C-alpha cells in the first residue's frame, strides 16, 4: 500500500515536472522581460502598405531604435490578436477608426500624452474629434481614405457613368455589370443603408430586412467580396465596378486613366481614418512618440501618399493634393466634408446574423 502510494506520488511529481517544463517553454518569450532590460526597439503592428519601409530604415539609422514591423490583414484579425495578447506584443498599432471605440472601452489602449505629439495643429480639423474618440485623447489620425466605386470606362458604357450613385451597384437595371463588393459586414450594410435610406443612425427591423434583401439581390452580380483584390479584379477585366477605398482602387488603376475611373457617389460616401493608438501594455512611450513624430514629417508623409495613394491628414499636404482618379484638392476636401464614418447602425449580433444570411446561400 505504502509502495503504491509512493509510486503515484513519484508519477505525479514527474507529470508536474513536465508540465512545468512545457509551461516554461510556452511562456519563454515573456519570461526574459521580467529580468532583462528592454532593448531600444519598438514593435509596430500595421496594415500592409501604410508604413514606408524606407522611412523606417531612415528612422532606425537616425535614432538607433530598431522598429519591428508586422502586418495584419483584416481589422478583425488585429482585434482578435489584440484581445488575445492584451496588446503586449506591440508598442504602436495602426488601426481603422471604427475599432478604436471598442479598444478604448476594453481598456486595451492608453491615453495619449498630448504634448508628446508635436503636430496636432497640422491635422485637418474634419479628421479630429469624432464620436469614436471625442477629444482624440487616444488616437492620432495618420491617413484617411475615401470609399467609392472604381469602374472600367469601357465596360460601364461609352457615354461615361449613367449616374453618380450607389444605384450602380444595387439597381437591377445594371445587373449585367459584374462588381466586387466590400468584405466587411458593417461596411456593406452601411453602404446599402445609405443607398436605401440616406443618412440614418439606426435601422428599424423592416429596414434591416430591406438591406438584407438588397444585399442578397446584389449577390449574383458580385464576382468577389474583397477589399484587397478590388483593384486587381478591375484591372484584370473580370469586373466593371469595384466598391472600395480610393487607395486600393486608385493604386491599381492609376496606370491606365483612359480606361479606369473612380467615382464618389453623390448621395454621400464613407471614409475611414487610419489612426495610431498605443496599447495599454506598451512601456516604450518615449520611443513610440519619437517614431510618431518622425513619420509625421512632411516629406515622409508625402512619400507615403505618393507611394500608396492614401489621403493625407496634414492640411498643408491636403491642399496641394491632386489625385488623378479622385480629383483635385478642392474636390477631395468637398468629399471629406460630406463623408461619413462607419459606425454600427445595428447591433453586433444583428450585423453578423445579417451577413451570415447573405453569405450562407
Write out the residues near another protein by the rule CB under 8 A.
3, 6-7, 10-11, 14-15, 18-19, 21-22, 25-30, 43, 45, 48, 53, 68, 70-74, 76-77, 79-81, 83-86, 88-90, 178, 183, 219, 222-226, 228-229, 232-233, 235-238, 352, 356-357, 359-361
Contacts of 183 (CB under 8 A, 6+ apart): 225, 226, 227
Contact by Cβ (8 Å): 145, 137: no
Least distance (Å) from another protein to the CB of residue 239? 8
- CB nearer to another protein: pick between 77 and 266: 77
Least distance (Å) from another protein to the CB of residue 359? 5
- CB nearer to another protein: pick between 73 and 266: 73
Least distance (Å) from another protein to the CB of residue 46? 9
Contacts of 223 (CB under 8 A, 6+ apart): 178, 179, 180, 233, 238, 239
Q: Which three cell numbers stand for residue 352?
A: 453578423
* Alpha-carbon gap, residue 232 to 318, rounded angstroms: 27
**Could you tell me the CA-to-CA distances from 223 to 89, 163, 190 in Å, in that order?**
37, 21, 20
Least distance (Å) from another protein to the CB of residue 196? 22
Least distance (Å) from another protein to the CB of residue 190? 17
Helices (H), the chain: 2-26, 31-35, 53-63, 75-85, 97-106, 153-156, 167-170, 185-197, 205-218, 230-236, 246-253, 285-295, 298-308, 315-319, 329-338, 348-360
* Alpha-carbon gap, residue 141 to 127, rounded angstroms: 7
Classify residue 285 as exposed, middle or buried by CB count within 10 Å of its CB (0-12, 13-18, 19+): middle
Least distance (Å) from another protein to the CB of residue 89? 5
Contact by Cβ (8 Å): 280, 144: no
Least distance (Å) from another protein to the CB of residue 321? 25
- CB nearer to another protein: pick between 54 and 316: 54
- CB nearer to another protein: pick between 70 and 330: 70
- CB nearer to another protein: pick between 106 and 315: 106
Other CB atoms within 10 Å distance of the CB of residue 115? 8
Contact by Cβ (8 Å): 141, 128: yes
- CB nearer to another protein: pick between 77 and 316: 77
- CB nearer to another protein: pick between 80 and 173: 80
Amino acid at each position: 500500500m505504502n509502495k503504491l502510494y509512493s509510486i503515484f506520488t513519484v508519477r505525479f511529481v514527474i507529470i508536474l515536472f513536465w508540465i512545468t517544463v512545457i509551461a516554461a517553454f510556452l511562456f519563454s518569450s515573456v519570461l526574459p522581460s521580467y529580468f532583462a532590460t528592454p532593448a531600444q526597439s519598438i514593435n509596430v503592428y500595421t496594415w500592409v502598405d501604410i508604413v514606408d519601409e524606407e522611412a523606417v530604415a531612415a528612422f532606425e539609422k537616425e535614432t538607433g531604435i530598431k522598429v519591428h514591423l508586422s502586418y495584419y490583414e483584416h481589422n478583425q484579425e488585429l482585434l482578435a490578436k489584440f484581445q488575445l495578447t492584451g496588446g503586449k506584443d506591440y508598442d504602436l498599432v495602426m488601426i481603422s477608426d471604427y475599432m478604436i471605440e471598442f479598444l478604448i472601452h476594453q481598456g486595451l489602449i492608453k491615453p495619449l500624452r498630448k504634448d508628446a505629439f508635436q503636430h496636432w495643429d497640422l491635422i485637418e480639423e474634419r479628421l479630429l474629434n469624432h464620436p469614436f474618440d471625442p477629444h482624440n485623447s487616444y488616437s492620432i489620425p495618420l491617413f484617411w481614405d475615401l470609399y467609392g466605386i472604381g469602374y472600367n470606362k469601357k465596360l460601364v458604357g461609352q457615354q461615361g457613368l449613367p449616374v453618380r450613385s450607389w444605384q450602380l451597384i444595387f439597381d437591377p437595371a445594371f445587373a449585367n455589370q459584374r462588381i466586387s463588393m466590400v468584405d466587411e459586414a458593417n461596411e456593406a450594410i452601411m453602404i446599402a443603408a445609405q443607398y436605401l435610406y440616406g443618412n440614418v443612425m439606426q435601422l428599424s427591423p423592416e429596414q434591416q430586412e430591406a438591406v438584407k434583401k438588397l444585399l442578397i439581390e446584389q449577390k449574383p452580380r458580385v464576382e468577389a467580396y474583397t477589399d484587397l483584390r478590388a483593384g486587381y479584379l478591375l484591372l484584370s477585366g473580370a469586373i466593371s465596378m469595384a466598391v472600395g477605398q480610393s487607395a486600393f482602387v486608385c493604386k491599381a488603376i492609376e496606370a491606365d486613366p483612359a480606361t479606369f475611373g473612380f467615382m464618389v457617389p453623390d448621395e454621400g460616401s464613407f471614409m475611414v481614418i487610419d489612426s495610431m493608438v498605443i496599447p495599454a501594455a506598451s512601456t516604450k512611450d518615449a520611443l513610440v512618440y519619437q517614431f510618431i513624430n518622425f513619420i509625421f514629417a512632411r516629406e515622409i508623409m508625402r512619400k507615403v501618399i505618393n507611394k500608396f495613394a492614401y489621403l493625407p491628414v496634414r492640411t498643408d499636404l491636403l491642399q496641394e493634393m491632386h489625385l488623378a482618379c479622385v480629383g483635385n484638392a478642392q474636390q477631395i476636401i468637398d468629399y471629406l466634408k460630406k463623408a461619413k464614418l462607419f459606425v454600427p447602425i445595428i447591433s453586433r449580433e444583428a450585423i453578423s446574423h445579417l451577413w451570415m444570411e447573405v453569405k450562407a446561400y
